[in-house]
Structure 1
Amino acid sequence: MKYSYQITEYCHRFLAMYLEPGDVCVDATAGNGNDTEFLCRICGADGRVYAFDIQAEAILHTKERLELSGLNTRAVLIQDGHERMGEYVKESVSAIVFNFGYLPGGNHSIATKPDTSIRAIEEGLKLLKPDGIMSLCIYSGQDSGYEERDAILSYLKGLDTKHWLVILNQFYNRKNDPPIPAFIVRLR
């Protein structure tokens, strides 16, 4: 079997080890709907996926993608900031997926910001059930800068080791600020 080593596909393979039909998940940055579709497929007809994005364009792309794949009944699409996910999601979740940066193909001046991203991670940690997982695709570089990357990595380093396992990966031999895949597993 040939694997792709794009960050989102790499994260999907890791997440798949933790998910099963009937799970409740959150796509904290819906974007073009790739992660939302993945979560809807793996959680099945009995699962539920909450997908957040502040951009109407992203919600529309995600809605269209889910309709084309016949998965639109499995997701709740919410046009609001991911830092407010706790206002909408009232149950414990198995997984939360983040892609920090800007909407691929969209306006690069509209991107996630360090303060709201860290608040969103904190909100997500409150929702994760034991053995639940959070996936973070951290993009940095020319358009998205380094401030958010550095703030997120600093925050992750400070998480209590009794409650959280943080796994940080890197594309070590790639140039030009490759994305950083990170995972947080709730231990208790």
Structure 2
Amino acid sequence: MSKRLLTKATDLAKHVIDIKLQKGMTAVDATIGNGNDTLELAKRVGSNGKVYGFDIQKVAIDSSKELLEKNNLLDRVELICDSHERISEYINDKIDLAIFNLGYLPSGDHSIITKPNTTLKGIESVLYSLKENGILIVVVYYGHSGGKEEKIAVEKYLNKLDQRKFTVMKMDFINQINNPPFIFCIEKI
């Protein structure tokens, strides 16, 4: 019996990561949260690759550091306690893959959320720094206060990207209740 593929947005994002990210590549987790994506990226890039992880909450940085240390992968990750809107201030490398999980830290203070203005600056920085055929994944959680505004702003921004420079795909569950998260995948041409 085969495993279900279309279960949740994070599983779809993981499939994209599995297909794209290889040893020696450079990746960005723009919203590290509990560190699960950062861990997956660190496994994928190998000892010669690099992962940059951003979060504004020290608790997210600390828990991610602990998770990476437990898995002996901290040496290939740079954890940065700052907003993803300042990605370009920290990264000079070209990026192979980046991921944003918009919303709030599930185990944290739900009043601390990603916001349209900082998210759009972060997305723009990543798009500028992507290598040719590089991928940006944006997982949009919008069932919280402020989430719908961010969803609208991100979709409007991505909809206007030049199709000669970027391919933008939206993966959305259309028969699910309670504002299920969805994914944008953007590939630089």
TM-score computed with the length of structure 2 as normaliser:
0.96
Can you give the 5+ residue segments of structure 2 that lack an aligned partner in the other structure? none
- Which sits farther off after the overlay, 97-106 or 12-21? 12-21
Amino acid of the structure 2 residue aligned with 1:16: D
Who is 2:33 aligned against? 31
Structure 2 contact 158–168 (Cα < 8 Å) conserved = yes
Deviations 1:141-180 (A, max 9, x none): 1344310001001111000000000010101111111101
Structure 1 contact 101–138 (Cα < 8 Å) conserved = yes
Structure 2 contact 102–114 (Cα < 8 Å) conserved = yes
Who is 2:114 aligned against? 112
Distance (whole Å) between structure 2 residues aligned to residue 47 and residue 157 of structure 1: 31
Partner-residue secondary structure (3-state), 1:58? helix
Distance (whole Å) between structure 2 residues aligned to residue 108 and residue 83 of structure 1: 20
Distance (whole Å) between structure 2 residues aligned to residue 148 and residue 179 of structure 1: 13
- Detail structure 1 runs of 4+ shifted over 6 Å in the superposition: none
Distance (whole Å) between structure 2 residues aligned to residue 59 and residue 3 of structure 1: 32
| RMSD of aligned Cα (Å) | 1.1
Deviations 1:98-152 (A, max 9, x none): 0000001110100000011001100111110000000000011134431000100
Can you give the 5+ residue segments of structure 1 that lack an aligned partner in the other structure? none
Which aligned pairs between 1:1-188 and structure 2 lie closer than 5 A?
Answer: 1-3=2-4, 5-187=7-189
How far the C-alpha of 1:3 sits from its partner, in A, is 4.1
Amino acid of the structure 2 residue aligned with 1:168: K
Instruction: Note closer, same or farther for the CA distance 1:51–1:129 as it changes in structure 2 (3 Å cut).
Output: same
Partner-residue secondary structure (3-state), 2:168? strand
Distance (whole Å) between structure 2 residues aligned to residue 27 and residue 99 of structure 1: 9
Distance (whole Å) between structure 2 residues aligned to residue 159 and residue 137 of structure 1: 18
Distance (whole Å) between structure 1 residues aligned to residue 179 and residue 129 of structure 2: 31
Instruction: Note closer, same or farther for the CA distance 1:86–1:142 as it changes in structure 2 (3 Å cut).
Output: closer
Structure 1 contact 85–120 (Cα < 8 Å) conserved = yes
How far the C-alpha of 1:53 sits from its partner, in A, is 0.3
Partner-residue secondary structure (3-state), 2:20? coil
